[in-house]
């Protein structure tokens, strides 16, 4: 059984409170929040002040995906804003081990995300320290892109790495997941599925969330 983390990136930004209520009602497990800085990725979204405001209107765990250069500079800000899981890109921080320890020392969960072309071996000496690994199944920066098929092997291999060491690490994937491929991806061993456009693009967002949950349970 996998969980669902709707990505707010594809929500109506003028109606965030209401959009969150809809996915909560549909049984979302995490709320996925995409922070982009216009440097690490060619897009800009929102930062700690928006997340802090949303924290007041949701009880869902906040799964914050930082697509920003040198994320270590902002760990305290995102912790204060209410992040429950803070995920950094391995490509964006020079001292990955130090950044992970800095997140964990704040008493929240630490995640590492990998771009599609980044090999899994960058996790070799940190996997044991992590709470979550986020495999990007599109190139980060935008919602509504197509799933990159080559990521299926990466997911299988990471599943084996986690299971062989009997680790308590959430395997999360992000990008291009829809009602058609969700079941297959769950069967590859994914624990948490991020979906943006496939959830918030629906006419009835609550019903779509429920539909997703049914497919991946
Ligand atoms: O991190 C992201 C993009 O960089 C988003 O979480 C992701 O793309 C979700 O969008 P969709 O489900 O529409 O592909
Ligand atoms: Fe994301």
**Which residues does 207 contact at the CB level (< 8 Å), separation at least 6?**
26
34 lines ligand 1 (CB under 6 A): yes
pLDDT at 31: 99
Instruction: Round to the nearest angstrom and report the end-to-end CA distance of the chain.
Output: 4
Number of CB atoms found within 10 A of residue 152's CB = 16
Task: Tell whether residue 143 is among the known ligand binding residues.
Answer: yes
Quote the tokens at residue 28. Answer: 């979302």
pLDDT at 86: 99
137 lines ligand 1 (CB under 6 A): no
User: Could you give the number of structural domains in the chain?
Assistant: 1
Give the nearest ligand 1 atom to 177 CA.
12
Tens of pLDDT, residues 50-61: 999 999 999 999
- CA-nearest residue for atom 4, ligand 1, is 140
Going from the C-alpha of 50 to that of each of 138, 166, 167, 200, the distances in angstroms are: 25, 37, 33, 18
Q: Identify the CATH number of the domain in which residue 157 sits.
A: 3.20.20.70
- Provide the residue range defining the domain that includes 135: 3-216
**DSSP labels, 201-214:** TSSSHHHHHHHHHH
Could you tell me the pTM of the whole model?
0.98
Q: Which of 147, 173, 196, 200 to mutate to test the pocket of ligand 1 (most atoms within 8 A of CB)?
A: 196
Going from the C-alpha of 22 to that of each of 41, 157, 208, the distances in angstroms are: 28, 35, 10
Task: Tell whether residue 32 is among the known ligand binding residues.
Answer: yes
Task: Tell whether residue 3 is among the known ligand binding residues.
Answer: no
**Which residues does 64 contact at the CB level (< 8 Å), separation at least 6?**
33, 35, 51, 78, 83, 85, 86, 87
Catalytic-residue membership of 34: yes
Residues of the chain predicted below pLDDT 50: none
Respond yes or no on whether ipTM tops 0.90. yes
pLDDT at 96: 98
173 lines ligand 1 (CB under 6 A): no
CB 135 within 8 A of CB 114: yes
Ligand 1 midpoint to CA 106 (Å): 27
pLDDT at 136: 99
pLDDT at 154: 98
Question: Over the chain, what is the mean pLDDT?
Answer: 98
Task: Tell whether residue 34 is among the known ligand binding residues.
Answer: yes
Q: Residue 158's beta-bridge partner residues?
A: none
pLDDT at 34: 99
- CA-nearest residue for atom 14, ligand 1, is 175
Q: Determine the Cα–Cα distance for residues 150 and 148; give it in Å rounded to an integer.
A: 6
9 lines ligand 1 (CB under 6 A): yes
């Amino acid at each position: 059984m996998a969980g669902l983390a709707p990505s707010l990136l594809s929500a109506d930004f003028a109606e965030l409170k209401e959009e969150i209520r809809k996915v909560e009602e549909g049984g979302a497990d995490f709320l996925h929040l995409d922070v982009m800085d216009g440097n690490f990725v060619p897009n800009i979204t929102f930062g700690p002040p928006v997340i802090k405001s949303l924290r007041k209107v949701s009880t869902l765990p906040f799964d914050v995906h930082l697509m920003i250069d040198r994320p270590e500079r902002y760990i305290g800000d995102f912790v204060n804003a209410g992040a429950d899981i803070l995920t950094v890109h391995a490509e964006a921080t020079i001292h990955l081990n130090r950044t992970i320890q800095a997140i964990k020392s704040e008493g929240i969960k630490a995640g590492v995300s990998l771009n599609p072309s980044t090999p899994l071996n960058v996790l070799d000496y940190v996997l044991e320290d992590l709470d979550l690994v986020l495999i990007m199944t599109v190139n980060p920066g935008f919602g509504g892109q197509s799933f990159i098929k080559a990521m299926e092997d990466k997911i299988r291999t990471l599943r084996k790495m986690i299971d062989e060491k009997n680790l308590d690490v959430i395997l999360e994937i992000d990008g291009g997941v829809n009602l058609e491929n969700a079941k297959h991806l769950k069967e590859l061993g994914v624990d948490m599925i991020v979906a943006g456009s496939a959830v918030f693009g629906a006419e009835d967002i609550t019903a779509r969330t429920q539909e997703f949950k049914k497919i991946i349970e």
